């Protein structure tokens, strides 16, 4: 079943509304993806008077079903467009004259970046610069870039990195995100734009695209399929619930000091194999489903951030208990098998079958 793509912005042409006493207009890029769609629902719940524009190209990872329950909300608008296309970006700024830009849109899958780096540079770097250019022209009050712990590269055991650590990306995705971070810095230093960067660890939760680790494991376990684990499964990731991340973005958007970067890690580090076994235990499934596949090229061993700054300055800390978050995510996927099926019948499956080399 294919969802009809409806651009629904005619009813609120926001031009001229941009004044201190009027509701804020927030341009969210990549709002049809996993974190962006969670953030839009979060904003609508928390700020019922805000006007939110979702600007998304609808790549394989963008799915308007993620926003079905709010698509009739009069404060929500969707416009299809590409952040790396000047005309598309100009159009959305002209139409809506946003107060805030929260920039999620990106090619986000590391494995795909290893196969086709060029698209990652175009979307993640050029797209960020084009958005910054128009944000400057339209005097946007705050631009927040959603970045990642991957920009720091692999972190040795028993240490973690603060925001001023050197950037050492090891794959094309991480390099493109690090470059975008640098462009945000330049926008602030050279042009005086009001900007922030937030770098989070691995997110999990409802609506996550099923090529990422936790959804792959849950969905394969439901279907009795093998659970592919890279290498020996000892790589370590820090996991945060998407709702905790949304709260951090909200704080940075409204209260972050301009020009600053904020780490948002959860101090919830798991070896991949241990995590997958844990998910199988929560689902009461056998560990026999686990299989090992060829390791990712340049696979970072561990990510670990020191998030004292956002805690001390903005009072943020993650609050969702990991087991509760996982149980809720498992239940969400159980209750949304049609959502998963729709994705599995598309382009994603061709990719998955072509590149998931078993050893």
Ligand X SMILES: NC(=O)c1ccc[n+]([C@@H]2O[C@H](COP(=O)([O-])OP(=O)(O)OC[C@H]3O[C@@H](n4cnc5c(N)ncnc54)[C@H](O)[C@@H]3O)[C@@H](O)[C@H]2O)c1
> Which residue of 41, 51, 57, 188 would you call a contact of ligand X, by CB under 6 A?
57
- Which backbone phi and psi does 354 adopt, to 5 degrees? -70, -40
Q: How far is the CB of 147 from ligand X (least distance, A)?
A: 6
From residue 350, alpha-carbon distances to 46, 353, 356 in Å are 39, 5, 10
- Residue number of the CB closest to ligand X reads 33
Q: Is 307 in the site for ligand X (CB under 6 A)?
A: no
From residue 62, alpha-carbon distances to 28, 34, 58, 105 in Å are 13, 8, 4, 9
Q: Is 108 in the site for ligand X (CB under 6 A)?
A: yes
Taking the least distance from each CB to ligand X, the nearer of 52 and 105 is 105
> Which residue of 203, 206, 235, 307 would you call a contact of ligand X, by CB under 6 A?
203
Q: Please work out the total of residues on this chain that contact ligand X, with binding judged by CB under 6 A.
A: 30
> Which residue of 98, 127, 169, 325 would you call a contact of ligand X, by CB under 6 A?
127
Taking the least distance from each CB to ligand X, the nearer of 30 and 49 is 30
Greatest distance between any 2 Cα atoms in the chain: 61
Taking the least distance from each CB to ligand X, the nearer of 64 and 227 is 64
- What's the number of CA atoms in the CB half-sphere (13 Å) around residue 213? 24
- What's the number of CA atoms in the CB half-sphere (13 Å) around residue 178? 18
Q: Of 169, 170, 180, 173, which Cα lies nearest the Cα of 111?
A: 173
Q: Is 247 in the site for ligand X (CB under 6 A)?
A: no
Taking the least distance from each CB to ligand X, the nearer of 202 and 220 is 202
Taking the least distance from each CB to ligand X, the nearer of 21 and 165 is 165
Quick one: which segment of 6-14, 42-50, 57-65, 313-321 binds ligand X (CB under 6 A)? 57-65
> Which residue of 96, 209, 316, 333 would you call a contact of ligand X, by CB under 6 A?
209
Which residues are catalytically annotated?
149-150, 173
Q: Of 288, 291, 284, which Cα lies nearest the Cα of 330?
A: 284
Q: Is 172 in the site for ligand X (CB under 6 A)?
A: no
Q: Is 235 in the site for ligand X (CB under 6 A)?
A: no
> Which residue of 14, 24, 25, 36 would you call a contact of ligand X, by CB under 6 A?
36
Taking the least distance from each CB to ligand X, the nearer of 271 and 289 is 271
CA dihedral 142, 148, 152, 154 (to 10 degrees): 170
Q: Is 56 in the site for ligand X (CB under 6 A)?
A: yes
Q: Is 202 in the site for ligand X (CB under 6 A)?
A: yes
Taking the least distance from each CB to ligand X, the nearer of 108 and 307 is 108
- Show the site string, 311-330: x = touches ligand X by CB under 6 A, - = not: --------------------
Alpha helix ranges (H) inside the chain: 34-46, 86-96, 110-115, 117-120, 127-137, 172-191, 213-222, 242-255, 272-282, 308-314, 322-335, 337-344, 347-355
Task: Return the residues of window 132-151 that contact ligand X according to CB under 6 A.
Answer: 146, 148
Q: How far is the CB of 213 from ligand X (least distance, A)?
A: 9
> Residue 236, SS3?
strand
CA atoms of 181 and 164, how far apart (whole Å): 12
Q: Could you please report the per-residue DSSP string of 101-166?
A: EEE--S---HHHHHH-HHHHIIIIIIHHHHHHHHHHHTT-SEEEEEEEGGGG----TT--B-TTSP
- Which backbone phi and psi does 342 adopt, to 5 degrees? -55, -40
Q: Is 200 in the site for ligand X (CB under 6 A)?
A: yes
Task: Return the residues of window 67-106 that contact ligand X according to CB under 6 A.
Answer: 82-84, 104-106
Residue with tokens 């050197």: 166
Positions that interact with ligand X (CB under 6 A): 29-30, 32-36, 56-59, 61-62, 82-84, 104-108, 123, 127, 146, 148, 177, 200, 202-203, 209
């Amino acid at each position: 079943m294919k969802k009809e793509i409806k651009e629904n912005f005619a009813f609120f042409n926001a031009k001229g509304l941009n004044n201190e006493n009027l509701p804020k207009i927030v341009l969210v890029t990549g709002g049809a993806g996993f974190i962006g769609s969670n953030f839009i629902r979060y904003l609508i719940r928390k700020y019922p008077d805000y006007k939110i524009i979702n600007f998304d190209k609808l790549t394989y990872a963008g799915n308007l079903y993620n926003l079905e329950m709010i698509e009739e909300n009069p404060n929500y608008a969707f416009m299809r467009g590409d952040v790396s296309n000047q005309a598309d970006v100009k159009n959305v700024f002209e139409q809506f004259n946003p107060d805030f830009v929260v920039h999620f849109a990106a090619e986000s899958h590391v494995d795909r970046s290893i196969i086709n780096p060029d698209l990652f540079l175009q979307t993640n770097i050029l797209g960020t610069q084009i958005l910054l250019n128009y944000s400057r022209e339209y005097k946007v009050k705050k631009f927040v870039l959603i970045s990642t712990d991957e920009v720091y590269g692999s972190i040795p055991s028993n240490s973690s990195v603060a925001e001023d650590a050197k950037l050492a990306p090891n794959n094309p995705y991480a390099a493109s995100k690090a470059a975008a971070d640098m462009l945000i810095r330049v926008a602030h230093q050279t042009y005086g734009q009001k900007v922030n960067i937030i770098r989070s660890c691995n997110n999990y939760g409802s609506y996550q695209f099923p090529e990422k680790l936790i959804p792959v494991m849950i969905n394969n376990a439901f279907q009795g399929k093998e659970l592919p684990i890279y290498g020996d499964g000892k790589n370590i990731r820090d996991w945060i619930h998407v709702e905790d991340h949304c709260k951090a973005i909200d704080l940075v958007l409204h209260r972050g000091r301009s020009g600053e970067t904020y780490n948002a890690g959860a101090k919830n580090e798991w070896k991949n194999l241990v995590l997958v076994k844990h998910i199988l235990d929560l689902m009461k499934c056998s560990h026999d489903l686990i299989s090992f596949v060829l390791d990712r090229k340049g696979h970072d061993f561990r990510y670990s951030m020191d998030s004292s700054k956002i805690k001390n300055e903005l009072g943020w800390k993650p609050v969702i208990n990991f087991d509760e978050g996982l149980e809720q995510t498992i239940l969400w996927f159980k209750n949304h098998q049609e959502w998963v099926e729709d994705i599995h019948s598309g382009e994603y499956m061709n990719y998955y079958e072509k590149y998931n080399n078993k050893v």
